[in-house]
Amino acid sequence: MNLKEAFRYQNKLQALLDEAQGILDCDSNVTNVANTYLRHKVMAEAEDETILDLPQTEYAQQITDIARFMLYLLEEKGRLFAAIRKAKDALDMDMDSEVSL
């Protein structure tokens, strides 16, 4: 993989991380809501009823998998950064300072 491909891969990893972060930021994906109706307060012989509101999003049941995927992406990004640094160090010129000119 040359540096140009590595930077494209870096951009793709960042796009995937941003998408996963957006999914985790949505409260309806990461919370469960339980409504408890206290019917015994109105009628002593009645039992309380608890209803779980299921999220209407497609990712609600896969949050753990998304978090694991994000950890994988972060590890992959770390390996990519190390490879880019190694490739830049192997150049006979300092690529970062040459680009800034």
Give the span between the Cα atoms of 68 and 74, in whole angstroms. 10
- Comparison of pLDDT for 58 and 68, the residue scoring more: 68
Q: Please give the model's pTM, rounded to 2 decimal places.
A: 0.70
Q: How confident is the model at residue 44 (pLDDT cuts 50, 70, 90)?
A: confident
Give the pLDDT of residue 99.
65
* Domain range annotation of the chain: 3-100
Q: How confident is the model at residue 101 (pLDDT cuts 50, 70, 90)?
A: low
| Secondary structure (3-state) at 94 | coil
Per-residue pLDDT tens over the stretch 4-15: 899 999 999 999
Is the four-CA dihedral 55, 57, 61, 65 of positive or negative sign?
negative
